[in-house]
Structure 1
Amino acid sequence: MNSFGIDASTLSAFADQLERKSEAAEFLVRGAVRKTTMDIAADAKSAAPVDTGNLRSSIQTSFAGSNAQVAQGVVQARADYSKFVEFGTSRAAPQPFLGPAGDKHLPKLQEAVGQVIGKLVEGL
């Protein structure tokens, strides 16, 4: 008869290390989402056409993420006519300000999250 054993303390230490790294990664990802959201809003405000300043001042940010599965930043222009400026109408050409700002910064967010994941698996 053969017998064998497994030292579970090593597995337990690994699980503890993974949990600590996961918490740190979550913190870093939330920070990257927050920074990207603010950067997109800043660029959108800079690019928004100005007549009265209402459109520019209506650009706002919000954040969600009360659990580990969600880290979300939202940038929106609350002026009723913002979609007509962004996408144009039959009488007015589009003057995009939100889309280009997102296009500029989303790759940076993807890179930052990739780096966080790389750090997470480092040393495991």
Structure 2
Amino acid sequence: MSSRFQEEVQKMKQRREQTIKQIAVFVEAEAKLRAPVDTGRLRNSITHQTENSETQSKAYIGTNVEYAPYVEFGVASKNIRPQPYLRPAIDENQDRIKEIIEKGMNVK
């Protein structure tokens, strides 16, 4: 393969890695806006991490707070209603996430 082709592949990979970081930061911020606040522990614990390989990039947004799943999904047996904050951060921002991808990857 030509070095020019390899350069372009590397540029595409860098754009992909930068784009996934932008999405992760955006979704983390949106989740924090939606997280219910009592002490602020849950909201402050929401973080992101990205993972990149030669062929794909992934973002993980979440928290290690032990009660987070109970807040997100609720507990019917304990009459705790769901207060989703992670899923809506993605679901309600599909168009914005798509824009970040299109801009970051220079596609339409």
User: Is this contact kept in 2: 1:38–1:61, CA < 8 A?
Assistant: yes
**Aligned mates of 1:112, 1:42 — CA distance in 2:** 15
What SS does the corresponding residue of 1:75 show, helix, strand or coil? strand
Query: Where does residue 122 of structure 1 map in the other structure?
Result: none
Closer/same/farther in 2, CA of residues 49 and 113 from structure 1, 3 Å limit:
closer
Q: By how many angstroms is 1:70 displaced?
A: 3.1
Report the AA paired with residue 94 of structure 1.
Answer: P
For residues 18 and 28 of structure 1, what CA distance do their matches in structure 2 show? 15
Q: Write the distance in 1 (CA, Å) between the matches of 2:6 and 2:38.
A: 51
Structure 2 segments unaligned to the other structure (5+ residues)? none
Residue number among 10, 17, 21 corresponding to 1:34 in the alignment: 21
SS in 2 for 1:85: helix
| Equivalent residue pairs, number | 105
Deviation at 1:58, TM superposition (A): 1.3
TM (norm. structure 1) is 0.72
Q: Gapped runs of 5+ residues in structure 1?
A: 1-11, 120-124
- Contact kept? 2:19, 2:101, Cα under 8 Å: yes
| Equivalent residues in 2 for 1:62-101, closer than 5 Å | 62-65=49-52, 67-90=53-76, 91-101=79-89
2:40 equivalent in structure 1: 53
Q: CA 1:107 to 1:29, structure 2 compared with 1: closer, same or farther past 3 Å?
A: farther
The answer to whether the aligner puts 1:18 opposite 2:5 as a matched pair is: yes
Q: Offset of 1:16 from its aligned partner?
A: 3.4
Matched residue, 1:102: 90
Matches of 2:40 and 2:49, distance apart in 1: 21
RMSD: 2.2
**Kept in 2: contact 1:88–1:95 (CA 8 A):** yes
Give the 3-state SS of the residue equivalent to 1:96 in structure 2.
coil
Paired-residue identity, %: 26
